[in-house]
Amino acid sequence: MQSSSAHPTSNDRREGLVIETDVNLKPYNTFGLPATARRLVRIREELDVRRVVDHPELGRAPKFVLGGGSNLVLTRDMDAVVLKMEIPGLRVEEREDCWIVEAGAGVTWHDAVAWSLEQGVPGLENMALIPGTVGAAPVQNIGAYGVELKDRLESVDVVDLTTGRRVELPAAVCRFGYRDSVFKQTGYGGLAGKSVITKVRLRCPKPWQPLLGYLDIERKMGETGIAAPDARQVFEWVCEIRRAKLPDPARIGNAGSFFKNPVVSAEQCRDIISRDPHIVHYPMADGSFKLAAGWLIDACGWKGKSVGGAGVYEKQALVLVNRGEARGAEVVTLSRAIQESVYGRFGIRLEPEPVVI
């Protein structure tokens, strides 16, 4: 792994900040794409955000919040001040009807899930092994196997990047959608680029009820003969399923699932099924249907194909990978070609999950 900084760090003692300059971001994004941050500040406590806001130079500069870099496609160097979120801390509070798990924004999401189970707190197991940090989880409204972050969020602590003021936001005001939230939105009331999450509180309800309705989990139940798994068993199954489908970013650069699973009306779904009876689809509570984006991409023949150093993973067409020396522009070119191909065959526009910079 390359050094994170081409030049020595500067310690602004008056402001209590360590500011790194000309930082190589390749180790800090799971795609392993090359880019340089002109200035990077490691945020290790909430007060560091206020120090940045009050800083005579950094306070006026544009800012970019970086968590685990697992949902990011870098196509250029970063002129904005990069706030690298590294706030630690995990604690649990037991209430009569639930457990509240509180985590610092810099904690790795999977570590928080595993730690919760170790404390005897079930409820997050379906979201095991999702890459990224806890602070980034509400931004993307991460989810897997029937559970989304919005289903478990109690509240978040947010610091305004203009005033430095901290507020606690309950889940109800976070405007969650499918892989979307107020923290990702730029329109009226949106908080993208205006705030940073420093702490997250998750609500795990009592009594615990397993969520087993996804095909992959049902297959595990059939294979093992375990009809009533506990939370630890579900956790282990989800980890096995994800490891079988998704490459380890430490070995093959990637950003996990690259496209959102499209949601269509019942009429659209029936039309597609009439032409492609084998399409993988899931009914939604509102009568719409979620289609498997990976199946659509695979049906268009993209699995294993490449554009320059960027490719489609051989084991899962939903995942784009860095075959060694890919650049962000090649990832973008490949993703657009896939979008055009899927639209041409199915009339469906795939939407990328990662943020393209």
Q: What is the pLDDT of residues 131-179, one digit of tens each?
A: 899 999 999 999 999 899 999 999 999 999 999 999 999 999 999 988 8
| 338 vs 41: CA distance, rounded Å | 36
At residue 9 the predicted structure's pLDDT band, cuts being 50, 70 and 90, is low
Q: Is the pLDDT of residue 223 over 60?
A: yes
Q: Is the pLDDT of residue 10 over 60?
A: no
100 and 174 in a single domain? The answer is yes
267 and 237 in a single domain? The answer is no
CATH classification at residue 200 = 3.30.465.10
For residue 210, tell me if it sits in a domain. no
Q: Is the pLDDT of residue 232 over 80?
A: yes
For residue 352, tell me if it sits in a domain. yes
- Of 178, 205, 232, the domain-final residue: 205
287 and 318 in a single domain? The answer is yes
- Of 51, 85, 119, the domain-final residue: 85
Strands (E), 189-252: 195-205
222 and 195 in a single domain? The answer is no
Percent of the chain with pLDDT over 90: 76
The answer to whether 182 and 190 are in contact (CB under 8 A) is yes
Per-residue confidence (pLDDT) for residue 282, from 0 to 100: 83
| 182: alpha, beta or left? (left if phi > 0; alpha if psi -120 to 50) | alpha
For residue 166, tell me if it sits in a domain. yes
Considering the entire predicted model, what is its pTM?
0.87
Query: Which domain, by its residues, includes 278?
Result: 253-356
Per-residue confidence (pLDDT) for residue 2, from 0 to 100: 38
At residue 6 the predicted structure's pLDDT band, cuts being 50, 70 and 90, is very low
Average pLDDT, the chain: 91
14 and 41 in a single domain? The answer is yes
At residue 15 the predicted structure's pLDDT band, cuts being 50, 70 and 90, is low
Per-residue confidence (pLDDT) for residue 1, from 0 to 100: 36
201 and 94 in a single domain? The answer is yes
63 and 101 in a single domain? The answer is no
Q: Is the peptide bond preceding residue 8 cis, with omega within 30 degrees of 0?
A: no
Q: Is the pLDDT of residue 195 over 90?
A: yes
| 162 vs 34: CA distance, rounded Å | 29
CATH classification at residue 32 = 3.30.43.10
Q: Is the pLDDT of residue 22 over 80?
A: yes
Report the number of distinct structural domains present in the chain.
4
For residue 169, tell me if it sits in a domain. yes
- Of 40, 55, 85, the domain-final residue: 85
Q: Is the pLDDT of residue 14 over 50?
A: no
Over residues 301-335, the pLDDT tens digits come to: 999 999 999 999 999 999 999 998 999 999 999 99
Q: Is the pLDDT of residue 189 over 90?
A: no
| 325 vs 254: CA distance, rounded Å | 12
| 298 vs 254: CA distance, rounded Å | 18
The answer to whether 82 and 21 are in contact (CB under 8 A) is no
291 and 234 in a single domain? The answer is no
Average pLDDT on 23-37 reads 95
- CA 178, 119, 210, 255: dihedral to nearest 10 degrees? 30
Q: Residues with catalytic annotation?
A: 179, 257, 353
For residue 96, tell me if it sits in a domain. yes
